Amino acid sequence: MTTDLDAPGRTIAGKYQLVSPVGRGGMAVVWRAEAILAQGFRRAVAIKRIEPTLRGSPEVVAMFVEEARVGSLLRHPNIVTVLDFGVDEHGDYYLVTELIEGLHLGNWVNAHVLSKTETPWELVAAIGMEILRGLDAAHCRVDQSGKPAPVLHRDVTPPNILLDELGVVKLADFGLARAMDRGRMTRANVVKGKVSYLAPELVQGHSPSVQSDLFGVGIVLWEALTMQRLFAAENDVAAALLVRDARVPLIGMKRPNVPLTFARVVHRALERDPARRFASAGEMLEALRDLLRVLPTTTDATRLRESVRRAMATAR
Q: Are 55 and 68 in contact (CB under 8 A)?
A: no
Q: Give the alpha-carbon dihedral of 2, 12, 168, 122, to 10 degrees.
A: 30
Q: Which of 6, 92, 155, 173 is catalytic?
A: 155
Answer whether 161's CB lies under 8 Å from 172's CB. Answer: yes
- Which sign does the torsion angle of CA 32, 37, 42, 45 carry? negative
Name beta bridge partners: 82.
97
Reply yes or no on whether 143 is catalytic.
no
d(C-alpha 9, C-alpha 16), whole Å: 10
Q: How far apart are CA 243 and CA 204, in angstroms?
A: 10
Spatial CA neighbour of 123 closest among 310, 313, 278, 305: 305
Among all residues, which ones are annotated catalytic? 155
